[in-house]
Amino acid sequence: MSAETQHPFTTVIGLEVHVQLQTKTKLFCGCITTFGSPPNTQVCPTCLGLPGSLPVMNRRAFDLSLRAALALNCKIALFTKWDRKNYFYPDLPKGYQISQFDLPFSYEGHLEVCDPKGAFEPRTVRITRVHLEEDAGKSMHDETAGTADSRIDLNRTGTPLCEIVTEPDLRSAEEARAWLNELKLLLVYLGVSDCNMQEGSLRVDANVNLHIPQEDGRLAKTPIVEIKNMNSFRSVERALVYETERQWGEWQATKAEIGSMPKQTRGWDDSAGVTRGQRHKEESSDYRYFPEPDLVPVTVTEEQVTTIRSSMGEPPAVLRKTLADRWKIPANDAGVLVNQGPELVRYFEDLATRVGEGKVASNWMQQDVLRTLNERGGNITDFPVRPEAVADIIARVQKGDFDTSRGREIFASVVEKGASVAEVVAGMGIAAVDDSDLRALCEELIAENPKIVADVKGGKEQAAGGLIGQAKRKNPNVNPGKVRALAIELIRALP
Amino acid sequence: MPTHDDTEPKLTREDVIKVAMLARLALSENEVTSLTQELTKIVGFVSQLSEIDTSDVEPLAHPLDSQNVFREDEPATSLKTADALRSAPRHDGECFLVPAVLGESSSA
């Protein structure tokens, strides 16, 4: 990551991001776009490319992509059309992809990314264009089965995709990852896409090369490489770090500069941690784009743009500030909350409204809700303790029924038991378990859970959370905070 | 205005071979020769259009004088899998079968 400080060059990175739009149906037909359905159950003559079928544009897909473009500060073309991108591949039944070539509906935007810890300077990344196109299907080849066939599932064919292309404005792998996080957050907040990388709703290709100043003052540029097959933002970061080093080594060996060879595509192999050469990238003219005769152009009015803009809500960058102002919480608190996504912000604002004090609510969010959520995994919308229950606990603390640390124990207990606050408080005999009983219980748990013990010893203190449920089953009156603290203490004392 | 000879496009054998490759067509040597001649004539014929001065003409995006045709985002019934696969040369009841595709999907 600190390649730039080790080596005398600038890393130059541009990204191409595809996101699946959150529509119910495909771009040109009424087939639904549910992920993970049995193969070829969401197909029709249009998305199968059968003769005589005609595409009709999904209005919501167009509106969502317009919303994305506006959020990315793009200029909106008031006249846009679609084009055929011709290539042959079994997952593309028509033999062409309907995309946008020379008149995309938006262009020249930008999105800024900052690092809260100041690892890099705030970076404004220019957006070259955002356009709307259709996805291809999926081809599967089971090499272990030893068959000569690939299997084709066309459920994904025709799913609406927003393609976002940046200028080569990023300067490190770390920046690229942070920028992608910001982009994802923005698109999730706007309801444009769920950006779920595991399900392929967000896909990233990266273009990277090095600019190396020469002694004569000239700037040497290494050949641009496009990296594909990166399945997480972490993979993107790792692939870029790897590729930067690889190109530096290549430069020192060959002094090959941009233009000396065709643009290269390399695939990221996540388990091996390397990029590998793929086919040479076809020139764009090889796709023989021509205007799509089956779709008429689309015009957009200034009024439409204004309407969409006014319905968009606050993008994360603005929300960080307004949330901090609205609830009088530190900027860092607001950043943490906003970065967790819109549902968590809704949870927080619900809680803060009930509590009436933003800072108190934020403390409970950061210390209890978020930590428990991270330990348990899952989504805030499925979190068993709702804002009213947290507000109830806080109200009892504020009333003086018990102190904050006892309140937090009650919170943990509500999480564990799935009971109401009143039930937990009523049934609480937490103090009744004396210290020697507690110690015996913890020693028992430690003996029974070598994996957790090893994790805790290895520095993963949150693993101790796994003991609490078991402790509760052994003795429902036990104080979870004490179990955790004592267990960790005992584990640390182990040889 | 340019003369016809100036705009006569030259189509080479290499052009034909490249286009055939992109179209996944296997051409014999003789076919390449005859297609080079025929395509040169066709392109030459069409290129007569370039004699017209179009500097004041708006590019035409679509021959129909129609715009903004949309459908609402409402699900419609899809085909049954068996019907979707019916006209494929080969399938396994679930997926279309094609000769081995190695490497990743084309993925737009």
pLDDT value of residue B37? 94
Q: Does residue A292 share a domain with residue A205?
A: yes
Mapping DSSP onto H, E and C, the string for A420-448 reads CHHHHHHCCCHHHCCHHHHHHHHHHHHHH
Whether A280 and A390 map to the same domain: the answer is: no
> Same domain for A208 and A352?
no
Separation of alpha carbons B81 and A92, rounded Å: 18
B-chain residues within 8 Å CB-CB of A37?
Answer: none
A133/A248 same-domain check: yes
Residues β-bridged to residue A161: A20, A133
- Hey, CA dihedral for A136, A142, A146, A147, is it positive or negative? negative
**Burial classification of residue A276, based on how many CB atoms lie within 10 Å of its CB (0-12 exposed, 13-18 middle, 19 or more buried):** exposed
Residue A205 lies in a domain: yes
Closest by Cα among A461, A31, A16 to A281: A16
pLDDT computed for residue A240 by the predictor: 98
The SS3 assignment for A108 reads strand
Which structural domain, as residue segments, surrounds residue A393?
314-427
Query: A202 with A231, same domain?
Result: yes
Cα–Cα distance list, B66 to A58, A66, A99, A299, B58 (Å): 17, 21, 19, 10, 16
- E-strand ranges in A67-201 read 75-76, 79-80, 83-86, 96-99, 106-113, 123-134, 138-140, 149-153, 160-166
Q: How far is A99 from chain B (nearest CA, A)?
A: 9
Among candidate residues B15, B2, B3, the one with its CA nearest the CA of residue B42: B15
Q: Which of B71, B85, B86, B94 to mutate to test the interface with A (most CBs of A within 10 A)?
A: B71
Residue A165 to residues A309, A345, A473, Cα–Cα distance (Å)? 21, 29, 54
- Joined together, the tokens standing for residue A453 give 């013990």
Note whether B79 contacts A288, CB cutoff 8 Å.
Answer: no
Residue A309 within any structural domain of the chain = no
Q: Give the three-class secondary structure for A187.
A: helix
Rounded Cα gap, residues A456 and A491, in angstroms = 7
Counted across chains A and B, CB pairs separated by less than 8 A come out at 157
A297 → closest Cβ in B61, B87, B94: B61
**B-side interface with A, Cβ within 8 Å?**
22-24, 61-64, 66-79, 81, 84-85, 87, 90, 92, 94-108
Q: Which of B24, B62, B75 is nearest residue A25 as measured by Cβ atoms?
A: B75
Alpha carbon distance A310, A304 (integer Å): 10
The per-residue pLDDT for A6 is: 63
B53 alpha-carbon distance from chain centroid: 27
Pair A24, B72: CB distance under 8 Å: no
Residue A365 DSSP class: I
* CA distances from residue A67 to A38, A305, A307 in whole angstroms, order as listed: 31, 9, 10
In whole angstroms, give the CA distance from residue A159 to residue A25.
8
Residue A390, in any domain of the structure:
yes
CB contact under 8 A, A137 and B105: yes
pLDDT tens digits, chain A, 495 residues: what are they? 444 456 789 999 999 999 999 999 999 999 999 999 999 999 999 999 999 999 999 999 999 999 999 999 999 999 999 999 999 889 999 999 999 999 999 999 999 998 877 788 899 999 999 999 999 999 988 766 666 789 999 999 999 999 999 999 999 999 999 999 999 999 999 999 999 998 999 999 999 999 999 999 999 999 999 999 999 999 999 999 999 999 999 999 999 999 888 888 999 999 999 999 986 545 556 899 999 999 999 999 999 999 999 999 899 999 999 999 999 999 999 999 999 999 999 999 999 999 999 999 999 999 999 999 999 888 899 898 999 999 999 998 888 777 788 899 899 989 988 888 888 888 776 445 677 888 888 888 898 998 888 888 888 888 888 888 888 778 766 667 778 888 888 888 887
Q: Is residue A364 part of a domain?
A: yes
Q: Are A471 and A422 contained in the same domain? A: no
Q: Which residues of B touch A29 (CB under 8 A)?
A: 76
Alpha carbons A160 and A23: distance in angstroms, whole number: 8
CA-based torsion, A41, A46, A51, A52: positive or negative? positive
DSSP state for residue B95 in the 8-state scheme = S
The pTM of the full predicted model, rounded to 2 decimals, is: 0.82
Q: Give Cβ neighbours of residue A85 (< 8 Å, ≥ 6 apart).
A: A96, A97, A98, A99, A101, A133, A287, A289
Chain A residues within 8 A of B101 when measuring between CB atoms: 89-91, 139, 141, 150
Confidence of residue B1 (pLDDT cuts 50, 70, 90): very low
**What ipTM, to 2 d.p.?**
0.86
Within chain B, strands assigned E span 70-71, 96-99
Is residue A37 domain-shared with residue A163, that is, in the same domain?
Answer: yes
Amino acid of residue A470: Q
pLDDT for A484 equals 85
Please tell me the distance from the alpha carbon of residue A69 to that of residue A43, in angstroms, as a whole number: 29
Q: Chain-centre distance of CA A344, in angstroms?
A: 15
A214 & A357 share domain: no
How high is the pLDDT of residue B10?
Answer: 78
Supply φ then ψ for residue A126, to 5 degrees: -75, 140
Domain ranges, ordered by start, for chain B: 1-52
Average pLDDT over residues B32-43: 94
Question: CA A137, CA A349: separation in Å to the nearest integer?
Answer: 41
- Residue A459, domain CATH: 1.10.10
Q: Are A295 and A320 contained in the same domain?
A: no
Residue A66 lies in a domain: yes
Nearest C-alpha in B relative to A23: B73
Q: Which CATH superfamily is domain B1-52 in?
A: Glu-tRNAGln amidotransferase C subunit, N-terminal domain (1.10.20.60)
- What residues contact residue A17 under an 8 Å CB cut-off, 6+ apart? A163, A164, A165, A166, A180, A183, A202, A203, A204, A205
Beta strand A123-134 pairing with A106-113: antiparallel
Per residue, the 3-state secondary structure of A26-60, as one string, reads CCCCCCECCCCCCCCCCCCHHHHCCCCCCCCEEHH
Distance from CA of B99 to the nearest CA of A (A): 5
pLDDT for residue B36:
95
Instruction: Give the integer Cα–Cα distance in Å for A31 and B75.
Output: 6
Task: Answer yes or no: is A307 within a domain.
Answer: no
The tokens for A329 are 């919480």
What SS3 class is residue A182? helix
* Facing residue for A30 by CB, picked from B74, B84, B104: B74
Tally the domains of chain A.
3
CA dist., res. A447 & res. A459, Å (int): 19
Helix (H, G, I), strand (E, B) or coil at B2: coil
